[in-house]
């Protein structure tokens, strides 16, 4: 009911983090590229195998002085995987405890998503993905989020061996996307969703340039090959950005959406990482994914704050100088000096700089040491984190399942009318 939004707003208003002043508006009016790195985990950054770096292009970006890189950034997805990542990144709302919110609620719900917010700032917004438009109900959800354009499979070249797994190979996909991007009115916000580095990590021989790892686990060993291919595709994209001149007035945001190697492959992962064991704590830390923001002139460096996908929207809007003090969002600006660093996982587990909770067990985050018996002070700290996590997950769920944003009409937001959008090729 309509009044339910008030309890959400009163919680959020009590807990709002003041965004960074230093970074506020530094990317105002710039084009934005959001680059979705499918299944890419943080461990692959600077990882070497077969006598070479697996992701040299991303490594270079990671260490660039104009890149803000985050080394304690976690994926927070549930069953909705990619779709949950998209929901968090562009709405700062969590995916649901079961299923994919984009599928169950993407068509009918009201959202106040990043594309719709940027639309009012004069941005053209477009999403690109080499799979069929209906996957994860993107073709409907993107309308609710206010995307002007959605370029899906039918907009791109097709041919023998052009596809692998869920869609068009990343190199072809990014190259084809570039020619559409060059035609977008500026400033634009373009989201590019790659797909080749997706389980089961298969790739044709011609595109393979590193040998498989040797854990003996088939679901793990191809990962470096597709990750390398993805990295090369990003390298080609970077080259195009330079030759087109778009690099000069664009901000790049890159993120890994979720784990590629699940916690069911402990032995193989231990071998891959050169560790003796891989326990539940290690698996929680293994949920880190890359998150980088790159722009000419940006004051970069490796930032150690603990955060995750839910925090991207407030971070991004602040960089773009878009005031969003009234938004319904569950994350906080990653660049804010005094932010709460509790990272919620969809199942209620969490990581803070001090404690990691997995099920009923607690660990010291910095050492990985399990806490056998919590002291009174520790108990209080973990209870506080638990309360925060369960409250935010359940309030976020209420917003989605109750379609509560339909009752929230801030003056700064122009509601999206889905009838205004069509992604059919004939209208493109």
Annotated binding residues for substrate, written as ranges, equal 198
Selection from Mn ion, ligand GP9, none that 170 binds (CB < 5 to 8 A by kind) is none
Q: How far is CA 227 from CA 8, 224, 301, in A?
A: 40, 5, 24
The separation between CA 198 and the C-alpha centre of its own chain, rounded to angstroms, equals: 15
Q: Which of residues 76-95 bind Mn ion (CB under 5 A)?
A: 81-82
Give the separation between CA 412 and CA 327, rounded to whole angstroms: 10
Of 174 and 193, the one with the shorter C-beta distance to ligand GP9 is 193
The separation between CA 173 and the C-alpha centre of its own chain, rounded to angstroms, equals: 19
Among 257, 333, 349, 392, binds Mn ion (CB under 5 A): 257
Give the separation between CA 52 and CA 227, rounded to whole angstroms: 13
Please give the structure tokens belonging to residue 252.
Answer: 């790049």
Q: Which of 55, 82, 315, 365 is catalytic?
A: 82
Q: How far is CA 28 from CA 18, 121, 187, 317, 321, in A?
A: 18, 10, 10, 9, 5
Of 143 and 198, the one with the shorter C-beta distance to ligand GP9 is 198
Selection from Mn ion, ligand GP9, none that 166 binds (CB < 5 to 8 A by kind) is ligand GP9
Of 96 and 195, the one with the shorter C-beta distance to ligand GP9 is 195
Selection from ligand GP9, Mn ion, none that 34 binds (CB < 5 to 8 A by kind) is none
Position closest to ligand GP9 via CB:
81
261 binds ligand GP9 (CB under 6 A): no
**Whose structure tokens read 């209620």?**
348
Q: How far is CA 360 from CA 119, 266, 347, 349, in A?
A: 44, 20, 12, 9
Site track 63-102 with ligand GP9 (rule: CB under 6 A), x = hit: ------------------xx--------------------
Site track 211-250 with Mn ion (rule: CB under 5 A), x = hit: ----------------------------------------
Instruction: Characterise 15 by phi-psi region: left (phi > 0), alpha (psi -120 to 50), beta (else).
Output: alpha
82 is catalytic: yes
195 binds ligand GP9 (CB under 6 A): yes
Give the separation between CA 385 and CA 428, rounded to whole angstroms: 47
CB of 378 to Mn ion, least distance (A): 35
CB of 81 to ligand GP9, least distance (A): 3
Give the separation between CA 90 and CA 92, rounded to whole angstroms: 6
CB of 256 to Mn ion, least distance (A): 9
Q: Do residues 70 and 291 lie in contact, with contact meaning Cβ atoms separated by under 8 Å? A: yes
What is the pairing mode between strands 343-344 and 355-358? unpaired
Q: Which of residues 164-193 bind ligand GP9 (CB under 6 A)?
A: 166, 193
Q: Which of residues 341-380 bind ligand GP9 (CB under 6 A)?
A: none
Binding interface with ligand GP9 (CB under 6 A) = 81-82, 131, 135, 166, 193, 195, 198
Which positions lie near Mn ion, rule CB under 5 A?
Answer: 81-82, 257
């Amino acid at each position: 009911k309509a009044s339910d939004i008030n309890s959400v707003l009163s919680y959020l208003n009590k807990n709002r983090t003041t965004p960074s002043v230093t970074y506020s508006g530094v990317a105002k009016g710039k084009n934005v590229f959001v680059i979705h790195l499918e299944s890419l985990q943080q461990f692959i950054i600077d990882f070497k195998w077969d006598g070479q770096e697996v992701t040299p292009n991303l490594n270079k970006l990671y260490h660039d002085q104009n890149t803000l890189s985050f080394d304690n950034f976690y994926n927070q997805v549930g069953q909705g995987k990619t779709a949950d990542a998209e929901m968090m990144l562009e709405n700062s709302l969590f995916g649901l405890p079961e299923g994919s919110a984009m599928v169950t609620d993407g068509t009918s719900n009201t959202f106040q998503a990043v594309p719709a917010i940027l639309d009012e700032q004069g941005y053209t917004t477009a999403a690109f993905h080499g799979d069929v438009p209906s996957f994860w109900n993107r073709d409907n959800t993107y309308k609710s989020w206010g995307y002007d354009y959605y370029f899906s499979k039918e907009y791109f070249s097709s041919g023998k061996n052009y596809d692998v797994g869920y869609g068009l190979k990343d190199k072809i996909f990014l190259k084809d996307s570039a020619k559409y991007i060059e035609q977008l009115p500026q400033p634009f916000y373009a989201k590019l969703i790659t797909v080749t580095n997706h389980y089961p990590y298969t790739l044709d021989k011609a595109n393979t340039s590193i040998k498989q790892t040797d854990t003996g686990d088939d679901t793990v060993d191809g990962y470096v090959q597709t990750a390398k291919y993805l990295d090369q595709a990003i390298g080609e994209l970077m080259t195009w950005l330079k030759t087109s001149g778009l690099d000069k007035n664009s901000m790049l945001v890159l993120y890994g959406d979720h784990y590629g190697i699940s916690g069911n492959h402990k032995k193989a992962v231990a071998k891959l990482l050169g560790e003796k064991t891989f326990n539940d704590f290690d698996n929680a830390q293994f949920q880190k994914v890359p998150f980088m923001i790159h722009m000419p002139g940006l004051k970069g460096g490796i930032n150690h704050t603990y955060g995750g996908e839910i925090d991207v929207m407030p971070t991004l809007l602040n960089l773009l100088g878009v005031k969003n003090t009234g938004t319904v969002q569950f994350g906080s600006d990653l660049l804010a000096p005094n932010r709460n660093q509790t990272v919620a996982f969809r199942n209620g587990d969490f990581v803070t700089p001090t404690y990691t909770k997995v099920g009923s067990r607690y660990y010291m985050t910095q050492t990985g040491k399990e806490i056998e018996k919590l002291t009174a002070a520790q108990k209080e700290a973990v209870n506080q984190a638990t309360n925060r996590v369960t409250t935010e997950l359940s309030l976020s769920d209420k917003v989605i399942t109750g379609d509560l944003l339909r009752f929230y009409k801030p003056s700064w937001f122009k509601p999206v009318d889905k009838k205004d959008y069509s992604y059919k090729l004939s209208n493109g």
